[in-house]
Amino acid sequence: MTLMKNVLALRQKKAIVEKGGGDKAIEKQIAMGKMTARDRILAILDIDSFHEYDLFVQHEERNFGMDGKELAGDGVITGTGTINGAPVCIYAQDFTVMGGSLGLKHARKITKIMDHALKLKIPCIGINDSGGARIQEGIGALAGYGEIFYRNTMASGVIPQISVILGPCAGGAVYSPALTDFVFVVENISKMFITGPNVIETVLGEKISQEDLGGARVHAEITGNAHFYALSEMECFQQIKDLISLIPHSNERRAEAIAPRKPKSKKNIEKIIPIDPKQPYDVRDIIQTLTDNSDFLEVHQLWAANIVVGFGRMEGETVGFVANQPLYLAGCLDCDSSDKAARFIRFCDAFNIPIITLEDMPGYLPGVDQEHAGVIRHGAKVLYAYSEAIVPKITIILRKAYGGGYIAMNSRHLGADFTFAWPSAEIAVMGPEGAANIIFRKEIMEAEDENAMRQKKVQEYIDKFANPYVAASKGYIDGVIEPAETRELLLHALNVSKNKEDYRPKKKHGIPPF
C-alpha cells in the first residue's frame, strides 16, 4: 500500500516537471508560433519510443536570487528513442524554463546524453531553443558550452550529429550546431548569430531585424550554416526522419538498405541535356533518372546552388551525389560550392557512403571577389576531400570537363575507382574558343578575315579535342557509355566495389586547407 503512495507521489512530481515553465510560459511559446520542447521530441520520435533521463536534475547556483529557484529539468529535456526504428539520442532545450538558458547542470545533461550517443554508437539530435548562457551562473555556463563543443568534436565522424534550430541560438551557443554534421532551420523560428541586432545597433548604429541578420533563409541561402530549410516545424521533422533513414548509425556501419525500386522519373535521360554546351539544364533531373523511386534528399539546397549534393538510393543502398549544376553560375566551382562539396564528400567518406560525381562544368568562377575571397584555398578542399576519401568513388562526365575542374571533380588522377563519359563529354584543358585563340593565335591574326579563321580553328579544335575519346585513348576514363546505360553501369560499379579496401599513410590526421 505504501508503495502505491510513493508511486503516486512520483507521478505527481513528474507531472509538475513535465509542465516545464508552466501554463503561462507554454502559452507564450505557442503564441510565438513554436511547439514546446517535449512536443518536438515526441513529433520527431516514433510513438511511445521516448525515454527521458535526468528529469529531476537541479542547478546549484546560490547567487543572484537563484537560491531555491526550481527550474524544471534545468531547462533541457534529454533521452533516447527511435526514428523509424533507428535508435537515437536526443535533447531539446526548453524555452519556457528561464528562456532555455544554459547553466552548468543544463549543459551536463546534454554532455551526458552525448556521451551515451558516442558509446552506444547512435546519432545524436540536439534541438536548440535558448536565450543563451545563464548569466547568473557566470563562468559555469561558459564551462558548460566548452564541454559540449569538446564532445561535438570527439563525436565528429564517429556518429552523425544533427542540430535543429527552433528558436534563438546566439553567441557562443551557435558553435555546437556549427560543429555538427547537419543543421536544420525553420522559417520565422530559427535565429542564429554571434552578435545580435542590439549589439550591432549600439556599436554601429545600424538597425537590422533578427530575421534579416540571422534568420532561417539567411543561413540556408547566404551563409551556408544551415543544411536543411523548412517552412514549418513539422516539415523540418519530416526532413530529419528522411535523413536519419539514409545515413548509418555510426562510422562502423553502413546505412540500412531498403527494398530496391526502379526510378519513377519518366524523363528520357538522353533528352535532358541540351547538345549545345552553352545551354543550361537542371542536373537534378539527371539524378532523378538514376535513383530508386527517383527520390533525392538534397543537402544545402539553397546555398551555393551551382553545385548539387545530397543522398539517394540505388538498389536500396544509400549513395551520395555530387553534381555540377549548369542551371546556376554555369555550374562553375567557387568558394562556397567548393566548401559545400568538400564537406559533403567528407561526411560520405566518414560514414561509408559511396560517392557518385556527375560532372559538367566549365571551370572556376572568374572574378576579383572570388580570388580575394580565397578561391585557391577553398577550391583546394575539393581536391583534398576527393583524394582522401576511401569509399567507392565513381564519376560520370556528362558534358564539359575543362582544366582544373576536370581534375577536381573526382578524376582518375585523384583516385576515382570508375570514370565514365557520355559521348557528349568534352574533356579538354580549356573551352575550345579559349584554346583556339592561344594555339592558333598567329594564323588567326595573319588571316584576311580574322573572324572566319577563328571560327574555322575553333571548329577544328572542337572536332579534334572536344570529345571523350582523347581521354579514353589514354585510359583516363574507363569507357564512353550511352546515357541510357548509366544506371545499370552505376549499379554494377557499386556492386563490385562493395568490399573496396584502400589505405592511407599512417598519420594522426591530415591538414586540410580549412
Partner 1 sequence: MEKPKNEYVDFAVTARKYKTLLTEKYRHRAVWTNPSAYEVHSFIPGTIIEISVKEGNVVEEGTPLLILEAMKMQNRIEMPFTAKIKKIHVKTGQKIAKGTLMVELYQAEEDTKK
- Provide the binding-site residues for partner 1, judged by CB under 8 A: 203-206, 221-222, 277-280, 284, 298, 301-302, 304-306, 326-332, 336, 362-363, 365-369, 372, 430-434, 437
Nine-digit cell string for 154: 570527439
To partner 1, the closest distance from the beta carbon of 443 in angstroms equals 16
Concatenating the DSSP letter of every residue in 377-416 gives HHHHHHHHHHHH--S-EEEEEEEEEEHHHHHHTT-GGGT-
CA distances from 412 to 155, 360, 404, 419, 428 (A): 32, 16, 13, 7, 14
Q: How far is the CB of 366 from partner 1 (least distance, A)?
A: 6
Least Å from the CB of residue 308 to partner 1? 11
Closest contact distance (angstroms) between CB of 368 and partner 1 is 4
Q: How far is CA 431 from CA 256, 271, 434, 502, in A?
A: 43, 23, 6, 34
φ, ψ for residue 88, nearest 5 deg: -145, 155
Q: From CA 162, how far away is CA 183, in angstroms rounded?
A: 6
Position 124, amino acid? C
Identity of the residue, 458 or 481, whose beta carbon is nearer to partner 1 in the bound complex: 458
Residue among 51 and 372 whose Cβ is closer to partner 1: 372
Smallest distance from partner 1 to CB 354, Å: 24
* Closest separation in Å from C-beta 433 to partner 1: 4
Least spacing, CB of residue 364 vs partner 1, in Å: 8
Q: Return the ∠ at Cα 393 (arms to 391 and 394), rounded to 5°.
A: 155
Pairing of strands 479-480, 393-402: unpaired
Residue 323 identity (one-letter amino acid): A
Least distance in angstroms from the C-beta of 165 to partner 1: 20
Angle between the N-to-C axes of helices 139-155 and 104-120, in degrees from 0 to 180, rounded to the nearest 10: 10
Cβ–Cβ under 8 Å, residues 163 and 126: yes
d(CA 506, CA 368): 39
Strand partners of residue 359: 397
Residue pair 98/137 in contact by the 8 Å Cβ criterion: no
Task: Please report how close the Cβ of residue 315 comes to partner 1 at its closest, in angstroms.
Answer: 24
Rounded alpha-carbon distances, angstroms, from residue 362 to 280, 424, 441, 444, 456 = 12, 14, 22, 24, 22
For 94-166, where are the E strands, in sequence order?
Answer: 124-128, 161-165
Q: How far is the CB of 282 from partner 1 (least distance, A)?
A: 8
Nearest to 185 by CA among 149, 150, 221: 221
Q: Of 270 and 433, which CB lies nearer to partner 1 in the complex structure?
A: 433
Q: How open is the CA angle 301-302-308, to the nearest 5 degrees?
A: 45
Nearer to partner 1, 172 or 512 (CB): 172
- Specify the length of the chain in residues: 514
| End-to-end CA, the chain | 64
Q: Residue for cell digits 519510443?
A: 49
Q: Are 152 and 182 in contact, with CB atoms under 8 Å apart? A: no
Task: Give me the helices (H) in 130-254, please.
Answer: 139-155, 175-179, 197-204, 210-214, 216-217, 233-246
Q: Which is nearer to partner 1, 351 or 364 (CB)?
A: 364
- Pick between residue 178 and residue 327 the one whose CB is nearest to partner 1: 327
Distance of CA 460 to the CA centre of its chain: 43
Residue 294 Cβ, how far from partner 1 at the closest point, in Å? 11
Nearer to partner 1, 46 or 460 (CB): 460
> Side chain identity at 343, as an amino acid letter?
R
User: Which residue number, 122 or 333, has a Cβ lying nearer to partner 1?
Assistant: 333
**Nearest approach, Cβ of residue 481 and partner 1 (Å):** 25
Closest distance to partner 1 from the beta carbon of 39 (Å):
29
* Residue from 186, 291, 311, 196 nearest 247 by CA: 311
Question: Which lies closer to partner 1 via its Cβ, residue 277 or residue 354?
Answer: 277
